[in-house]
Amino acid sequence: MQRKIQTAKTIITALPYIKKFTKKTIVIKYGGAAQINPDLKEKFAQDLVLLYLVGIRPVVVHGGGKRINELLDKLQLGTEFVDGMRVTDEKVMEVVEMVLSGSINKEITTLLNHHGAKAIGISGKDANFLKATPLENGKYGLVGEITDVDHTVLENLMNEKFIPVIAPIGSGGTTEHPGYNINADLAASKIAVSLKAEKVLFLTDTPGILDKEGHLLSSLTAEEVEALKADGTLYGGMLPKVSACMEAVSGGVKHAHIIDGRVEHSILLELFTDEGVGTVFSQ
């Protein structure tokens, strides 16, 4: 009986947060171990379906770098990285689109549908809802920078009770253009801003932002982020994620979160508990 009572208490604890976020849009960047580990995939799907069923409007943006690397290796197509960005020519772009818009996107939508949601997979080419131009004047080939998000496409889908699952492929604007490879973190940020989302969550393989002693920093402002960059605490692969968080909150998203996707039900723990499980960014 005590276990049943504790279960009821847990549900009641989450109730104020459910009330707060009902009918609000929450963008989730899905990547890392949560996208690869079979058990974590199931927990992710359960989290999303729970959000969906209590009236929250989730939007999923996913990456797929590891799977892209695997297929490029099988096809014996070398891949080059400059400044941490995958240099993308037309052959590589074909593989990127095949993996992101094809296998990964449909795998996620199938998983969510199986668990009881109504998910639909799209890329930025669909209805030209993500328009892009070459990043840094083509320095990285067909790596793109989003110039416009047609949020009405996503709003219409959510109004019809769909969960949009987005492959970050940008439209090049012509029928002959192969499209643009878009960084999934930056795509999630731009989409969150365009939708005036309540929150954007980035699932990663770290507990959040750590100080130099390895302690979790549970919250950060723009000024604190700049100080951490200056003293070398923030560096490397975490910089693009932090930049995406700051871009989101400066664009009007109330909060951006970096959370540990390796923790079961990390999305629910971040949204529905007082403590949360990661780092939250605010203006």
Residues annotated within the binding site for substrate are: 64-65, 86, 181
Q: For residue 33, with 0-12 CB atoms within 10 Å meaning exposed, 13-18 middle and 19 or more buried, which class applies?
A: middle
Q: How many CB atoms lie within 10 A of CB 246?
A: 20
Binding residues: 64-65, 86, 181
Dmax (CA) of the chain: 65
Rounded CA-CA distance 9/6 in Å is 5
Return d(Cα 280, Cα 219) in angstroms, integer.
5
Concatenating the DSSP letter of every residue in 106-135 gives HHHHHHHHHTT--EEEEETTGGG-EEEEEG
User: In angstroms, rounded to a whole number, what is the distance separating the alpha carbons of residues 197 and 252?
Assistant: 8
- The DSSP annotation for 139-154 comes to TTBSBEEEEEE-HHHH
Query: How is residue 71 written in tokens?
Result: 């297929």
Residue whose pair of structure tokens reads 């959370």 in the numeric block: 259
